[in-house]
Chains A and B, each alone.
Chain A
Amino acid sequence: MTKAAVIVFPGSNCDRDCKTAIERSTGAKVDMVWHQETALPEGLDLVVLPGGFSYGDYLRCGAMAAQSPVMREVAAAAERGTAVVGICNGFQILCEAGMLPGALLRNAALKYVCRAVGLDVVNGQTRFTAGYAGQREVTMTVGNGEGNFFADETTLDRLEGEGQVVFRYRDNPNGSARDIAGVINIKGNVLGLMPHPDRAFEPELGSADGATLFQSALASA
């Protein structure tokens, strides 16, 4: 049986959504891991950093969470090749931890945006997107006030050149540079995205496209 962990920070609010989404879409066993832990459960195939407002977004979104004891373990697991997905606040945490390039700025229109968005699967060859099997457009939901992806032009060129841009907004909701919604590290095992696959894992939620992401991540384990 595949095994996943959802990290719980003070202020996470999509942790249980993530657990439910992973369990229902993959059948994996999902452990909840508190941010003060200094060890991850044995034999993990996937680590998820959920959405929310860790540490009340103090200082910068994700900045405090990136310094949590558990993040040293998450970085070490990523180094060993374990798949790591950061969703929304989780994406911000991965950027703050230096595990992904770039940063997330306040939305260009200053508004919190909460709605379904169409995404292009720019790179369908990653371990997180292989299951889309040629499906070019997917639908997930965004809910963020600071989802405006930023990196300098050189970094953006490099990300595009190396296939590290995984998802792009079809209709950019927050001003993200080059419509980027999700990026992956160069090694291909750490993905960050602002849209929520955990809010799109059953047709009743308007889309089941998020389930494919979790299924792909665990199928490649």
Chain B
Amino acid sequence: MKAKVEVFLKPGVLDVQGKAIEGALHGLGFADVSDVRVGKTIEFDLKGADPAAAEAEVKAMCDRLLANTVIEGYRVEVA
């Protein structure tokens, strides 16, 4: 199975990278842009056939390593 994890800063946590990118986009004339948030995507292969079990395992990975839940949220897709 393929697992895809998206990690992003929680709402309310200042995303300074997002702010810088927003400023640069405005500088290029894309004036309608607002609220830019930068996250990251982590993809990997996972052995096993049970999607529910795999999703639970990937969430455990997120809680223990892939995301810092003090500041970050995550979304998991297993297919």
Q: Is the CB of B70 within 8 A of A106?
A: no
- Please provide the chain A residues from 46 to 103 with a CB less than 8 Å away from any CB of chain B in the complex: 59-60, 63, 67, 95-96, 101-103
Asked if B70 contacts A108 (CB within 8 A), the reply is no
A110: chain B residues within 8 A (beta carbon): 16-17, 19-20
Q: In the complex, how many residues of chain A place their beta carbon closer than 8 angstroms to a beta carbon of chain B?
A: 20
Contact digits for B8-35, partner A, Cβ 8 Å, 1 yes 0 no: 0000011011011000000000000000
Q: Give Cα A63 to B66, complex, Å.
A: 9
Digit string of A104-116 for contact with B (CB within 8 Å is 1, else 0)? Answer: 0111111000000
In the assembled complex, B65 has its CB within 8 A of some CB on chain A: yes
Partner of A106, one of B16, B65, B66, B68: B16
Judge whether A59 and B20 touch: CB under 8 Å.
no
A175 interface hit (Cβ, 8 Å)? yes
- The listed residue with most A CB atoms (<10 A of its CB), out of B14, B68, B71, is B68
Closest 3 CB pairs of A and B: A103-B70, A103-B71, A106-B16
Mark B residues whose CB is within 8 Å of A. 13-14, 16-17, 19-20, 65-66, 68, 70-71
